[in-house]
Amino acid sequence: QLADRADLVIIAPASANSIARLAAGYADDPVTAIVLATRAPVLLAPSMNVNMWSHPITEANVLKLIDTAGYHVVGPGDGFLACRWTGPGRLAEPADIVEAAANVLTTQDLAGVRVVVTAGPTYEAIDPVRFVGNRSSGKMGVAIAAAAQRRGARVTLVLGPSAVPTPIGVNTMSVENATQLQWALGDAVKDADVVVMTAAVADYRPAKEAKQKIKRGQLGDTATIELVQNPDLLAELGKARGSRSTPLLVGFAAETDDVIGNAEKKLATKRCDLVVANDVSEPGSGFAVDTNRVTLVDPSGAIEVPAGTKYEVAHRILDHVVAMRAAQAAKPARIAKPSKKSRKR
């Protein structure tokens, strides 16, 4: 019953002896019997002496379990071992085992897909102390990066100033302002299949940045800061893509009124495939909180996503992205009609 009920079997720690017995197909104790009888995926977390781990027989056994039985392996880590040797052989950290288990259980419908995600705010400096910014925490974008990575994507995260921990296995580029974000995107999107623009980029920046801190009263009783417009990065991506279907372009619209109407305008003017809109004035939706409620707006209409954690909402957004990519792939290729000059007479 244990073998039949399991969604995933984790062996942690998996010793050299356990790995050898599994590779040989033994079923004479509870562990090997359950593993041999289950149809669930199996995740091994090896832990052993460094020389045992590097032994050719152990290496062959691990490869056999991966190649023949489709087992998954996390670790081992590198460090000081119980046998007083130092090197690979430490049991993977609990967080890494949990991460690996979640990856195994998640559908890999974005396997190999190159996804670029922008997240967080931008800080446009007034002087070395002050800046023009916004309330974005980066939580939604980081959640999308983590969810895409878990679904098998090769993820690049371009992250503005944020205290949110970045996901394991995600290539992260840190930026501070819109200009740096523009430069980072220029490299990141060259080979991208999907670009998700969650970053809350400041619309304006100070025309001049003071090199020294502006002292209180230095500018008089009232002060005016001249602002200039930042580049519209989403519109630039849409324009550069032109009529091509890749990368699939996802924009975000943080609104306080006429949420759907503004999202539809953004969809058209920025040449996006999908706009994720939310009302940041609603409790539990928007900046800094761990939950969100969004509406997905594409050329076919609007779909409301129920409120949930930002990670849950991230997966619903990616579900829609996967469906859109499948629809694009299913479209028959256009065959160019011969010009009048090339037609037979």
Query: Active-site residue numbers?
Result: 83
- What separation, in Å, do the N-terminal and C-terminal C-alpha atoms of the chain show? 76
Backbone φ and ψ of 181, nearest 5°: -65, -40
C-alpha separations of 46 from 28, 73, 247 in Å: 20, 8, 39
Q: How far apart are CA 142 and CA 250, in angstroms?
A: 15
Longest dimension (CA), the chain: 87
- Give the closest residue to 185 by CA, choosing from 259, 109, 116, 95: 116
User: Residue for token digits 């539990």?
Assistant: 284
Q: Strand 171-174 relative to strand 194-197: parallel, antiparallel, unpaired?
A: unpaired
Task: Name the token pair of 299.
Answer: 């050329």
Q: How far apart are CA 134 and CA 202, in angstroms?
A: 7
